[in-house]
């Protein structure tokens, strides 16, 4: 665990624990005050006789009750926020100690057919995604997965925003918490795109929303002047409500669409408010803020939609709804306002969600950068050289990290890595893979410096047979290698990571096949790394300068095996399989 990060999270826990106690006291106070004010209303009805005095007293007490209910709701929200702050900081402390299971793991994005996701532990329990993910809304989660699995739309923008936000962890945590506090029901976080399907009918409601209230109010006036009978007043009321009721199904359908997205709408609006308050120094950040609060109309659009939803909530009480529709044709006014909103903003909804999803991706990257301490942002090398200095792996704790360099010169195609079991070959392969993924995503790279070409990553490290399609292990591996070859032959610039290929055949076939495959990859312009126990593959380096040998080593002292996890030039001479077999008493 690194000291500065742990200190920050510990202090945040202490700060918000104190605030939580204050929020709890406030919440308890308003709970009892709200109850007392309600009992006061009941008592007044009992003690004061019917008349003007009772009406005045109850009106004042009802106003007090509503005020206290709103204060109670505010206190409840404040308490929930403080609880979320504490939980978030406790989870970050656990992550620094090597346990990041509190965060969503993105299992829904797993795909065995992806070019590298399965081999690089990108999704699922104990994955890279779970380590990085601090997204809140489903759209942000999906965008983060796409960024890691496909690459960034704008690498430079990602790098600059993550750099800036990682220096403002207090705001980044506030963004996460104040978005999350609204999200309590998954069914109310659906995509806003469905709002584009709403239908509002003809323009008659625009006229009727004024005519019907005029009829209702005129009828009441005439009745009070004894110019209309009560039966006529009732018929007039039924007529008004009947006309409004012709659009009841349409109104309810629209309000159901909005209601099912209410939590997401509130969260998006809060995110936008927080982003508006953020003081950004970078040109990229300032331009993005101008975009969100300028021509998109997002802030005003969400504000108007929230107002429409709040007005719709008034009609949820049957008696209040009947009264509002009788006196004001409330539903018709809602439909007209909703249609105006829909005509103006509906086509922008997908874009709005995408804009805010990018901010969630930046915050995830910013917190990752803060947690890891020593990171850099990759620079693109246009000459074809790979140069990564002091490369590590995020799953290894900072105090236990053994860093290695990775270099591959433009005239070289493949590193061939040999070494004993458990010496660090696979971790090194994944470290290089994650550096390329991070570079393509515009994310921090866990290294001191990183300069690499723009290439797509493909890998074959884990292969399994599939009985459902009658695929043997060897056939599955060949299919995977063919998948990689197809990508290269299609013209893509590909960096290939291979770990002990052709394991499913005999040693002679494996030797010939592996050498032939590497030679073909070199011929068609691929670059990459292969880890192998097959020392005959290292002969390629003596035959062709496109191949270079490196190795990891171990030492045996008495009955103990030691590793330094450092990479060296050359070929490994020490293997430890026989020693391990004897140590575990599997052979004599």
Q: What is the pLDDT of residue 581?
A: 54
Both 421 and 540 in one domain: the answer is yes
339 and 458 both lie in a single domain: no
CA of 486: how far to CAs of 185, 225, 256, 391, 521, in Å? 44, 88, 48, 30, 11
Residues in the chain: 588
In a domain, 138, yes or no: no
Strand pairing category for 449-452 and 554-557: unpaired
pLDDT of residue 132: 98
Distance of CA 379 to the CA centre of its chain: 25
Three-state SS sequence of 394-432: CCCCHHHCCCEEEEECCCCCEEEEECCCCCCHHHHHHHH
Last residue of a domain, one of 46, 79, 99: 99
Mean pLDDT of 193-219: 86
What is the percentage of the chain residues whose pLDDT exceeds 90? 57
Give a three-class secondary structure readout of 132-162: HCCCCCHHHHHHHHHHHHCCCCCHHHHHHHH
- Which residues, including other chains, have CB under 8 Å from residue 341's CB and lie 6 or more apart? 301, 304, 305, 308
pLDDT digits (tens, 9 = 90+) for 115-146: 999 999 999 999 999 999 999 999 999 999 99
- Which of 103-112, 226-235, 354-363 comes out lowest in average pLDDT? 226-235
* Cα torsion angle, 386, 492, 158, 444, sign: negative
Q: Who has greater pLDDT, 539 or 260?
A: 539
Domain match, 348 and 263 both: yes
d(CA 121, CA 430): 9
| DSSP category for residue 195 | G
Whole-number Cα distances in Å, 201 to 13, 195, 247, 321, 417? 53, 15, 9, 21, 69
Instruction: State the residue for tokens 């004993």.
Output: 420
Q: What is the count of structural domains for the chain?
A: 3
Which tokens hold the place of 216? 């209702």
| Whether the predicted pLDDT of 113 surpasses 70 | yes
pLDDT tens by residue, 172-187? 999 999 999 888 776 6
The answer to whether residue 172 is domain-embedded is no
Q: Does one domain contain both 411 and 333?
A: no
* Sign of the CA dihedral running 314, 315, 321, 327: positive
Q: Which of 67, 99, 131 is the last residue of a domain?
A: 99
Query: What is the distance between the alpha carbons of residues 458 and 480, in angstroms, rounded to a whole number?
Result: 10
Rounded to whole angstroms, how far apart are CA atoms 316 and 313? Answer: 5
pLDDT in tens, 498-545: 998 887 666 788 889 999 999 999 999 999 999 998 888 999 999 999
- On the question of pLDDT at 385 being above 90, the answer is yes
Tell me: do 351 and 387 sit in the same domain.
Answer: no
Per-residue pLDDT at 558: 66
- 519 inside domain: yes
- pLDDT tens for residues 20-61? 999 999 999 999 998 988 888 888 777 776 656 666 777 787
Which residues contact residue 512 at a Cβ distance below 8 angstroms, ignoring those fewer than 6 apart?
A: none
pLDDT tens digits, one per residue of 482-495: 999 999 999 999 99
Any domain includes 552: yes
Residues 196, 294 within the same domain: yes
Do 241 and 276 belong to one domain?
yes
351/454 same-domain check:
no
**pLDDT of the residue at 1:** 43
Asked whether the predicted pLDDT for residue 580 surpasses 70, the reply is no
Q: Is residue 329 part of a domain?
A: yes
Q: Does the structure show a pLDDT above 50 at 465?
A: no
| 574: helix, strand or coil | coil
The residue from 70, 99, 128 where one domain ends is: 99
Token reading at 235: 């018929």
* Residue range 554-568: mean pLDDT, rounded: 80
- Residue 271, classed as helix, strand or coil, is helix
Question: What is the extent of the structural domain holding 252?
Answer: 186-357
The most confident of 42-51, 190-199, 271-280, by mean pLDDT: 271-280
Show the beta-strand stretches assigned E in 177-217.
none
pLDDT recorded at residue 212: 92
Burial class (CB in 10 A: 0-12, 13-18, 19+), 430: buried
Query: Do both 327 and 395 map to the same domain?
Result: no
Bridge partners, 415 (sequence order): 529, 548
Q: Do 550 and 417 share a domain, yes or no?
A: yes
pLDDT at 409: 95
Q: Which of 361, 450, 370, 353 is nearest to 405 (CA)?
A: 450
Evaluate whether 69 touches 37 at the Cβ level (below 8 Å). no
Q: Is 517 inside a domain boundary?
A: yes
Percent of the chain with pLDDT over 70: 92
Q: Is the pLDDT of residue 200 over 90?
A: no
Mean pLDDT over all residues of the chain?
Answer: 88
Note whether 188 and 99 are within 8 A (CB). Answer: no
Read off the tokens for 565. Answer: 């996890």
Report the predicted TM-score, pTM, of the whole model to 2 decimal places: 0.87
Query: What's the burial of 476, exposed, middle or buried (CB within 10 Å: 0-12/13-18/19+)?
Result: middle
> What's 497's domain CATH number?
3.40.50.300
Helix (H, G, I), strand (E, B) or coil at 279: coil
Q: Are 341 and 402 part of one and the same domain? A: no
Angle between helices 283-293 and 262-277 (to 10 degrees): 130
Q: Do both 509 and 553 map to the same domain?
A: yes
Which letter does DSSP use for residue 240 in this model?
A: H
In a domain, 69, yes or no: yes
Whether 575 is in a domain gets the answer yes
pLDDT at 69: 86
Least Cα distance to 360 among 585, 528, 139 occurs for 139
When pLDDT is averaged across residues 320-328 and rounded to a whole number, the result is 84
């Amino acid at each position: 665990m690194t000291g500065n990060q742990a200190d920050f999270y510990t202090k945040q826990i202490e700060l918000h624990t104190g605030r939580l106690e204050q929020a709890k006291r406030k919440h308890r106070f308003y709970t009892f005050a709200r109850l007392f004010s309600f009992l006061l209303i009941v008592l007044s009805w009992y003690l004061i006789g019917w008349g003007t005095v009772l009406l005045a007293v109850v009106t004042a007490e009802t106003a007090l009750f509503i005020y206290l209910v709103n204060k109670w709701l505010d206190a409840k929200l404040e308490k929930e926020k403080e609880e979320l702050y504490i939980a978030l900081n406790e989870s970050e402390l656990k992550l620094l100690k090597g346990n990041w299971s509190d965060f969503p793991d993105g299992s829904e994005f797993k795909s065995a057919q992806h070019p590298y996701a399965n081999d690089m532990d990108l999704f699922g329990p104990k994955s890279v995604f779970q380590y990085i993910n601090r997204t809140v809304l489903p759209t942000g989660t999906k965008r983060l997965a796409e960024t890691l699995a496909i690459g960034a739309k704008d690498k430079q923008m990602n790098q600059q925003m993550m750099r800036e936000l990682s220096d403002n962890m207090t705001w980044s945590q506030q963004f996460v918490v104040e978005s999350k506090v609204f999200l309590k029901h998954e069914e109310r976080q659906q995509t806003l795109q469905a709002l584009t399907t709403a239908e509002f009918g003809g323009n008659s409601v625009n006229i009727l929303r004024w005519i019907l209230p005029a009829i209702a109010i005129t009828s009441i006036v005439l009745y009070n002047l004894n110019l209309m009978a009560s039966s006529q007043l009732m018929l007039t009321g039924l007529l008004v409500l009947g006309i409004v009721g012709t659009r009841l199904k349409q109104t309810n359908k629209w309000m159901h669409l909005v209601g099912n997205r209410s939590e997401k709408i509130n969260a998006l609006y809060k995110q936008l408010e927080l982003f508006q308050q953020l003081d950004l120094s970078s040109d990229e950040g300032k331009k993005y803020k101008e975009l969100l609060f300028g021509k998109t109309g997002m802030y005003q659009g969400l504000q108007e939609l929230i107002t429409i939803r709040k007005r719709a909530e008034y009609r949820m009480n049957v008696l209040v709804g009947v009264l509002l529709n009788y006196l004001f044709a409330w539903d018709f006014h809602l439909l007209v306002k909703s249609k105006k909103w829909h005509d103006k903003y509906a086509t922008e909804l997908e874009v709005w969600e995408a804009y805010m999803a990018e901010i969630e991706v930046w915050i995830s990257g910013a917190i990752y950068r803060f947690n890891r301490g020593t990171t850099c942002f990759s620079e693109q090398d246009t000459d074809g050289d790979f140069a990564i200095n002091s490369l590590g792996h995020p799953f290894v704790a900072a105090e236990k990290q053994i860093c290695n360099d990775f270099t591959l010169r433009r005239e070289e195609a493949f590193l061939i890595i040999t070494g004993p079991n458990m010496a660090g070959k696979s971790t090194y392969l994944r470290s290089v893979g994650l550096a390329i993924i991070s570079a393509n995503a515009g994310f921090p790279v866990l290294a001191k410096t990183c300069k690499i070409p723009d290439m797509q990553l493909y890998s074959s490290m884990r292969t399994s047979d599939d009985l459902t399609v009658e695929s043997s292990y060897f056939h599955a591996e060949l299919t995977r290698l063919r998948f990689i070859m197809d990508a290269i032959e299609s013209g893509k610039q590909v960096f290939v990571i291979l770990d002990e290929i052709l394991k499913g055949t005999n040693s002679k076939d494996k030797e010939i096949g592996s050498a032939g495959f590497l030679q073909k990859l070199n011929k068609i312009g691929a670059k990459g790394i292969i880890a192998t126990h097959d020392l005959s593959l290292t002969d390629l380096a003596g035959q062709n300068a496109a191949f270079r040998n490196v190795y990891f080593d171990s030492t045996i002292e008495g009955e103990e095996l030691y590793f330094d996890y450092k990479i060296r030039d050359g070929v490994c001479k020490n293997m430890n399989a026989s020693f391990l077999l004897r140590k575990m008493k599997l052979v004599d």
